[in-house]
Amino acid sequence: MADDVEAAGSALEVLCQGPAGQLPLFADEAGAVSQAEAAEDEIAGWERDGIRFLTILDPDYPAQLLTVHQRPPFLTFRGRLDPADARSVAVVGTRQATERGLRDAAELAGGLAEAGVPVVSGLAAGIDTAALRAALEAQGRAVAVLGTGLRRSYPRENAGLQERIAREGLVISQFMPDAPPAKFTFPMRNAVMSGYSAATVVVEAPYRSGARMQARLALEHGRQVFLLESLLANDWAQGYARRPNTTVVRTVADVLDHLKSALVTDQELVWA
């Protein structure tokens, strides 16, 4: 659908003409216009709740997301967009984290934030929560990418953290504000999180995990992937470690050393 909107130049044209190879969604333009007006009213209600709406055709749409196939046709967000997020690093891992994993996530995210690198994560329990909290405590920029709509908090106990990130950083979602969590929403969230970030650090993750999936997606997106050395106890991590654009690291200093030479889209922005 994102490709259809980009090609047509507006969502209204897609409604009238139909997605590529399909029949129009409305029999006439009047029906499409009526539906568009209803959508505008709904978006106005979101804005009253502090939720902003951004389409793939808007100039403020994150440029780094435009480079990946899974770019969503729209985003909803609370907080402040920042082009410097093109140099952000995602810190991800399992919900069932060990104490060591939580400590490693906090040290990595805190160190990145102190170095001026925006930290992105998914606001799930475990590694995500530890990473985002550490970034905030280091007075750095935290970006949470949700697998639900912005009017929901998942898990519920992270509602306060979500509010704080919305005030101090950015919370984004590719789903309608009231969308509940579902099996399919979290893989979609991981694709956006990879595309939004310049690199992904996997702290602790079993084979069947969103974090491993994000490492695969990041490599497909041409992003850098960092695997914490302790992950090499897993067969999947040993295989990934041999792939191009993958680096095994021990500390945040290792990550920053590998990032220093990487430029982002804006040539004036370089790694700290």
Condensed to tens digits (0 to 9), the pLDDT of residues 205-240 reads 999 999 999 999 999 999 999 999 999 999 999 999
User: What is the distance, to the nearest Å, from the Cα of residue 34 to the centroid of all Cα atoms in its chain?
Assistant: 32
Token pair recorded at residue 136:
């905030």
- CATH number, domain at 126? 3.40.50.450
- pLDDT for the residue 46: 84
Token pair recorded at residue 212:
């491993």
Q: 107 and 40 in one domain?
A: no
Q: 229 and 129 in one domain?
A: yes
Task: Give the chain's largest Cα–Cα span.
Answer: 60
Q: Which residues in 74-215 belong to E strands, given as ranges?
A: 74-79, 89-92, 119-121, 142-145, 170-173, 199-202
Give domain status of residue 62, yes or no.
no
Give domain status of residue 185, yes or no.
yes
Token pair recorded at residue 101:
């994993």
* Residue ranges in the chain whose pLDDT is less than 50: 15, 25, 263-272
Q: 191 and 90 in one domain?
A: yes
Closest CA to 109 of 156, 72, 142, 85: 142
Give the rounded percent of residues in the chain with a pLDDT score beyond 70.
Answer: 81
Give domain status of residue 199, yes or no.
yes
The CA distance from 46 to 197, in Å, is 26
Give domain status of residue 5, yes or no.
yes
Q: 109 and 22 in one domain?
A: no
- pLDDT for the residue 162: 98
Closest CA to 121 of 95, 103, 157, 156: 95
- pLDDT for the residue 263: 43
Give domain status of residue 270, yes or no.
no
The CA distance from 241 to 255, in Å, is 15
Give domain status of residue 55, yes or no.
no
Q: 34 and 92 in one domain?
A: no
Give domain status of residue 38, yes or no.
yes
Q: 90 and 44 in one domain?
A: no
The CA distance from 40 to 35, in Å, is 9
Number of Cβ within a 10 Å radius of residue 164: 17
- Report whether 263 contacts 270 (CB < 8 A): yes
Closest CA to 225 of 106, 145, 239: 239
Q: 41 and 133 in one domain?
A: no
Token pair recorded at residue 48:
């009253």
Give the global pTM. Answer: 0.84
Instruction: Look up the domain containing 126 and give its range.
Output: 83-259
Q: 128 and 13 in one domain?
A: no
Q: 42 and 87 in one domain?
A: no
Number of structural domains found in the chain: 2
Q: 245 and 154 in one domain?
A: yes
